[in-house]
Structure 1
């Protein structure tokens, strides 16, 4: 930005909470060419203002429509029922392995992994459904090595290695 330039990016003009009001609602989005896109809002990127819509058919199939924020001219809410497709929207990009597990199986996996890490002298805390290691690594359901998040590559690699080598029956010995 040049000195004296008064242009400000839209992210500084619009509160991301304004975008959040659309999530899980059915909307019609009109673009600059006059085309209308209808679907349930999965997410909106607050920086680019790009909208991700999902359409569900009677057979349970889902199609995704991504509308670039720079082309959007109007958004109209046509259904405020945020619970109607919430579960389906939340599961759109989750690994299939986590979708097949019951809540009891998920809890069992969480406790099994927690005990394995503790046996290996790794301090683990449980925060809801996330396992946390020293605020440096987070393990999300379904608690596989691919479900680890960390900015520390060394810690990430070591914990993923431990998870990969965890015996199925480690809790029995």
Structure 2
């Protein structure tokens, strides 16, 4: 029972130390050290001040800051958190390295060249017009459509349609033949 209350007191003391340094209890060890260095630099700068009261206050604040930082970093809670945070950072670094390695291993796809149907020179298949002879490059679908809907085929289809219509009209109305 006494052990539990001692842990609670230690926890609340550490939490107060975090708050005194302007930190949140959930801040990671890097943030704690960064804040410590920043505050230490501020107080060290103030200690060089020509104002004696500012120097005395800065010295006292620096001493308190050292105590706060020592209390935080010396606690088991902080040490456990720092250890877990280091594992987390190592895992993140490992994942990043694996991602970079995977990106480096991506195969380079070389573009296959095709022959221009007009001048027979090699060109990229993405081109719509040959860069050499300026002939229009058709996709397979466009080639099929060009064959199916050529002028000759359209004329033949039109004649067939006219003949079919004429046949239907004549069959339905045989008097027209007389």
TM-score range, shorter chain: under 0.3
RCO (CA 8 Å, sep 6+): is it higher in 1 or 2?
A: 1
Rg larger in 1 or in 2?
Answer: 2
- Between Structure 1 and Structure 2, the one with more strand by share is 1
Question: TM-score of the superposition, structure 1-length normalised?
Answer: 0.23
Taking structure 2 as the reference length, the TM-score comes to 0.22
